[in-house]
Amino acid sequence: MDVSAVSALTNQPTQSENAAATLSDSFDTFLTLLTTQLRYQDPLEPMDSAEFTNQLVQFSQVEQSISTNSNLEKLLGYQGANQAVAAIGYIGTTVEALGNALPLVDGSATMNYVLAEKAESAKVIIYDANGDQVRSIESATSLGKHTVTWDGKDDDGNTLPDGAYTAVVSARDADTNLIEVATSITARVTGTQNNENGTQLIFGSVPIDLDKVISVSDQQANGGGNGNQADDEESGGDEEPAA
């Protein structure tokens, strides 16, 4: 979110307001020194007025710059407010957003990955908020986009609590070299928030920046499926078990 909007929420002055206050103090000090110098100057050798004029011009230029910055902050504030209002419209919709922060909601989570080339092996590794690995899922290896739905269980079959997790895709070719992978998550938006990072959508307990959204629909994110499934979109949506 922009500086001015955050400042309004936190009752803190903006950068331009701080700069204006500093300039005002400096200008008062300058005028005090100027009048003191004029009072005690030698009448036979008066001080050069050009120097005073230059300093006044410099103060004026700084003041204009601060005013310009203040206006820009206001414009950014309006833009941030518009984004916040627009974000409300996402609540209740299912959104696909770039990233690997995986929200587990009602015991289910959905993530997507795109392979730049055919892989020899691919697996989705899920970590909890402490960075500990909780699940490893063997996944589709064909070129293109794939979707994996996680049932919220760890490798021992224990049901894990809803919350924020991280999904990392490890894909390797026949020579065991890592393959480039792009990841996204698909989830239903439950709320929005504004902070220093801008406007964010909330998926359960996971915030995602609004500019990460790549698609929106009104369909359920997890489709009511049970267990873990890998949906190979390239092959027409055939689902394969991701043991």
Per the CB < 8 A criterion, the answer to whether 16 and 65 are in contact is no
pTM, to two decimals: 0.60
Q: Which of 225, 187, 222, 223 is nearest to 206 (CA)?
A: 187
Contacts of 4 (CB under 8 A, 6+ apart): 14, 73, 74, 76, 77
The pLDDT of residue 195 is 78
The pLDDT of residue 55 is 66
Residues of the chain whose pLDDT is less than 70? Answer: 1-31, 33-34, 37-53, 55-57, 59-60, 62-63, 66-67, 69-85, 219-243
- pLDDT per residue over 61-87, tens digit each? 766 776 676 666 665 555 555 666 677
